[in-house]
Amino acid sequence: MSEPVISLRGVTAELGSRPVLRGIDLTVHRGEVVALLGANGSGKSTAIRSVIGQVPVSGGEIEIFGTPRRRFRDWKRVGYVPQRTTAAGGVPATVTEIVASGRLSRARFGVLRKADHEAVRHALELVGMADRAKDSVNALSGGQHQRVLIARALASEPELLIMDEPMAGVDLASQEVLAQTLREQVAAGTTVLLVLHELGPLEPLIDRAVVLRDGCVLHDGPPPRAVGQHALPGHDHVHPHAAHDAEPIRTGLLS
């Protein structure tokens, strides 16, 4: 197996006085696409925010590209799409400016050069938003905001993409566009960890699913075929690739 790009071992975190991560083990290897699944409040966002350093951990170890997270500085290698939020947070900015902000980590002395501007334009093309480049982000719909945030993450041409529900609020046609974009990124070797509620058009891309429940890993293995009826509490799921005598996996995604 190739080297781990993300590694969490026994990670615990509290928010307020509430234990939110209660000993998470999670490894994502180079080139893998791993979906983080689980019910609302199970700790998915907190887990990925602990990886990018937005949530302090109280125990365990996190490594990114083999470096302890505390010492990791090479953020240009990482693209992050936060859980759905407006791209500018009410600040007046154009679509290009937001996406360009994702390129700054690669720009020397914070100055964008021709190649950087091209990367920004390319990222906008990848998410089908090139025609809105000059528009104010405040004039975009929720799903368009989401696509701009994805373009911002892609603009630094990251080796690792961490995305929190990237498809939230995105219509099906645009989901297909984004799935195709992601497929190309993955084919080019990008590693992906993403929070999802439904596998949807991304399903064929997912190598592994990690299901959280109450801040613990409930399942780490083949993705469930459907995050719907099949995932209801108590439903015994046998993955079609599993051996015939394999133990059913209780995904319990929604419990």
Ligand X SMILES: Nc1ncnc2c1ncn2[C@@H]1O[C@H](COP(=O)(O)OP(=O)(O)OP(=O)(O)O)[C@@H](O)[C@H]1O
Shortest CB 46 distance to ligand X, Å = 3
d(CA 99, CA 93) in angstroms, rounded, equals 10
Nearer to ligand X, 130 or 216 (CB): 216
Shortest CB 164 distance to ligand X, Å = 7
Nearest Cα residue to 185 out of 173, 195, 197, 177: 177
Nearer to ligand X, 41 or 128 (CB): 41
- Write out the DSSP string of 163-224: EESTTTT--HHHHHHHHHHHHHHHHTT-EEEEE-S--GGGGGG--EEEEEETTEEEEEESPP
Nearer to ligand X, 155 or 223 (CB): 223
Nearer to ligand X, 95 or 212 (CB): 212
- Chain contacts with ligand X (rule: CB under 6 A): 15-16, 18, 20, 38, 40-46
Nearer to ligand X, 46 or 251 (CB): 46
Query: Token digits for 25?
Result: 């083990």
Shortest CB 80 distance to ligand X, Å = 14
Shortest CB 13 distance to ligand X, Å = 9
Shortest CB 234 distance to ligand X, Å = 20
Q: How many residues does the chain have?
A: 255
Shortest CB 20 distance to ligand X, Å = 4
Cα–Cα distance list, 80 to 72, 134, 139 (Å): 15, 23, 23
* 3-class SS of residue 148: helix
Nearer to ligand X, 16 or 234 (CB): 16
d(CA 255, CA 234) in angstroms, rounded, equals 9
